[in-house]
């Protein structure tokens, strides 16, 4: 037999043996794609290497591959949390992405004017460009996010999902209404307040009070009395305990508040 053919056959057999051995050691941590063997340790190594190099986009790709190729792993929720955190890190950085532009500031521009033009928020522009104040200089360039955000609240799981162009951007644990009282439907955020005062029956509770259940932020729906807000009871997140609103941890509602503008669509489902 031709020696070349013998070497080819031997190589194929050796590859097959290696694959069998690997799969015997742990088939859940190995996949073959386009003729290449990929593994959980290999992809984790790539992710950590990218993070060490301050390359969050590269790290996100590795974690997305882990979630996609090993969806049954017991670690999939941790990997998804990594993706969520990296999404926010990239959003709040000057890194330009396919969903953002580098905008050159013109004479007469203000942050509020730019935010309105691109349907984003002043807070997000400032965070994305490490701006400490509202003063901007014509001729300078700033990163501006251009893809619309939407929100989905799933009452059955007590989660709030932030989406960008229908892609899941980040998932938050929330509290919803006791006795299923959070209304179902599609709403819009019509007002936003920092450190809101709570006007409850027979009393006015100022911001900062331990009795003010609204926490540090309020985003009201176009349905009077309902909205998304912070909480003074973080221990109850993940439960149906509110009077109908959606509660979030203060740190997380502050993050969401900076991202979504007035007019953002909020869908609430059972």
- For residue 199, name the pLDDT band (cuts at 50, 70, 90): confident
The most confident of 23-32, 142-151, 204-213, by mean pLDDT: 142-151
The CATH number fitting domain 100-145, selected from 3.10.350.10, 3.30.710.10, 3.90.1640.30, 3.90.550.10? 3.10.350.10
pLDDT of residue 26: 42
pLDDT of 6 reads 52
245 carries an active-site annotation:
yes
Round the average pLDDT of the chain to a whole number and report it.
89
pLDDT at residue 211, as a whole number? 82
Asked if the model's pLDDT at residue 186 lies above 90, the reply is: yes
Band of the pLDDT at 128, cuts 50, 70, 90?
very high
From the candidate CATH numbers 2.40.440.10, 3.40.50.720, 3.30.70.260, 3.40.50.300, the one assigned to the domain spanning 149-269: 2.40.440.10
Confidence check: pLDDT of 178 > 60:
yes
Place 27 in a pLDDT band, splitting at 50, 70 and 90. very low
Residue with tokens 């996949």: 31
pLDDT value at position 8? Answer: 53
pLDDT of 132 above 90:
yes
Stronger pLDDT, 213 or 172, i.e. the higher one: 172
For the question of residue 229 being annotated catalytic, the response is: yes
In this predicted structure, which of 86-95, 146-155, 200-209, 257-266 has the lowest mean pLDDT?
A: 200-209
Q: Which of 111, 229, 252, 256 is catalytic?
A: 229
**What is the per-residue pLDDT for 80?**
96
Domain boundaries, the chain: 3-91, 100-145, 149-269
| Position 216 pLDDT exceeds 90 | yes
The tens digit of pLDDT for each residue in 78-107 reads: 999 999 999 999 999 999 999 999 999 999
The whole-number pLDDT of residue 70 equals: 94
The structure's pTM equals: 0.85
**Higher-pLDDT residue of 49, 38:** 49
Same fold, 100-145 and 149-269: no
């Amino acid at each position: 037999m031709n020696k070349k053919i013998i070497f080819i056959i031997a190589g194929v057999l050796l590859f097959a043996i290696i694959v069998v051995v690997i799969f015997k050691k742990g088939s859940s941590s190995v996949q073959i794609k386009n003729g290449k063997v990929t593994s959980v340790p290999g992809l984790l190594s790539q992710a950590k290497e990218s993070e060490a190099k301050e390359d969050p986009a590269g790290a996100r790709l590795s974690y997305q591959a882990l979630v996609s190729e090993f969806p049954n792993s017991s670690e999939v929720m941790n990997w998804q949390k990594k993706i969520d955190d990296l999404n926010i890190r990239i959003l709040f950085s000057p890194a330009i992405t396919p969903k953002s532009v580098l905008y050159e500031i013109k004479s007469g521009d203000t942050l509020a004017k730019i935010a309105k033009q691109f349907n984003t928020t002043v807070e997000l522009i400032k965070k994305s460009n490490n701006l400490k104040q509202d003063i901007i200089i014509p001729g300078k360039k700033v990163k501006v996010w251009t893809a619309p955000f939407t929100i989905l609240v799933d009452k059955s799981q007590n989660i709030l999902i932030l989406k960008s162009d229908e892609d899941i951007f980040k998932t938050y644990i929330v509290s919803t209404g006791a006795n299923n009282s959070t209304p179902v439907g599609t709403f819009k955020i019509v007002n936003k307040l920092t450190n809101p005062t709570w006007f409850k029956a027979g009393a006015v509770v100022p911001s900062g009070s331990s009795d003010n259940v609204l926490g540090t932020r309020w985003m009201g729906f176009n349905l009077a009395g309902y909205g998304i807000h912070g909480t003074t009871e973080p221990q109850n997140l993940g439960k149906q305990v509110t009077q109908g609103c959606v509660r979030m941890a203060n740190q997380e509602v502050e993050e969401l508040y900076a991202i979504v503008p007035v007019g953002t669509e909020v869908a609430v489902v059972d």
